[in-house]
Amino acid sequence: MLSRSRSGVRTILTPLAAVLLLGAAAVQADGPRLLLTVGDVTATAAVVWARGVAKGELVVEATAPGGTPAARGAVRVTRGDDFAGKVRLTGLRPATRYGVQVRGGGETARGEFMTAPPHDQPARVTFLWSGDLGGGGRCRLADGGYRIFRAMTPHRPDFFLFAGDTIYADVKCDKPGVAPGADFIATTLTEFRARHRYNREDPAVQDFFRTTSVYAIWDDHEVRNNFSGPTEPLMVTGRRAFLEYWPVSPPDEEPTRLYRKFRWGRLLEVFILDTRQHRSPNTDPDGPAKTMLGAPQRRWLVDNVSTSTALWKVVVSSIPLSVPTGRPDQRDSWTGASVYGTPQEGGTGFATERDAILKALRDRGVKNLIVLAADVHHAEVIHHRPTPEWSFHELIAGPLSAGPGRPRPLDEGLNPRSLWARGGVYNFGAIAIEPAHLTVRIVDDDGAVLYTHTLAPE
Q: Which strands sit side by side in the sheet containing 312-316, from one edge to the other?
A: 260-264, 268-272, 312-316, 369-373, 390-396, 378-387, 416-423
Q: How many whole angstroms separate alpha carbon 32 and alpha carbon 47?
A: 23
Q: What is the pTM for the complete model shown?
A: 0.92
- Cβ–Cβ contacts within 10 Å for residue 434, how many? 14
Peptide bond between residue 399 and the one before it cis (omega within 30 degrees of 0): yes
Q: What is the pLDDT of residue 215?
A: 98
| Complete DSSP assignment for 184-236 | S---SHHHHHHHHHHHHT-HHHHHHHTTSEEEEE--STTTSTT--GGG-TTHH
| Complete DSSP assignment for 442-453 | EEETTS-EEEEE
Residue 178 has what DSSP assignment?
B
- Cβ–Cβ contacts within 10 Å for residue 355, how many? 15
The CATH superfamily holding the domain 1-115 is: Purple acid phosphatase-like, N-terminal (2.60.40.380)
Q: SS3 of 418, please?
A: strand
pLDDT tens, residue order, the chain (458 aa): 333 333 333 333 332 222 223 333 333 444 448 899 999 999 999 999 988 778 888 787 889 999 998 988 777 889 999 988 888 889 999 999 999 988 877 888 899 999 999 999 999 999 999 999 999 999 999 999 999 999 999 999 999 999 999 999 999 999 999 999 999 999 999 999 999 999 999 999 999 999 999 999 999 999 999 999 999 999 999 999 999 999 999 999 999 999 999 999 999 999 999 999 999 999 999 999 999 999 999 999 999 999 999 999 999 999 999 999 999 999 999 999 999 999 988 889 999 999 999 999 999 999 999 999 999 999 999 999 999 999 999 999 999 999 999 999 999 999 999 999 999 999 999 999 999 999 999 999 999 999 999 999 99
Q: For the chain, report the end-to-end CA distance as a whole number of angstroms.
A: 50
Residue 179 has what DSSP assignment?
P
Q: How many whole angstroms separate alpha carbon 398 and alpha carbon 325?
A: 15
Cα three-residue angle 338-343-347, rounded to 5 degrees: 75
Q: What is the pLDDT of residue 6?
A: 36
Tens of pLDDT, residue by residue over 10-42, are 333 332 222 223 333 333 444 448 899 999 999
Note whether 400 and 426 are within 8 A (CB). yes
Domain 119-455 has CATH 3.40.630.10: no
Tens of pLDDT, residue by residue over 208-217, are 999 999 999 9
Q: How many whole angstroms separate alpha carbon 122 and alpha carbon 125?
A: 9
User: Would you kindly state where each structural domain of the chain is located, as residue ranges?
Assistant: 1-115, 119-455
The burial class, CB within 10 Å (0-12 / 13-18 / 19+), for 107 is middle
Q: What is the pLDDT of residue 23?
A: 30
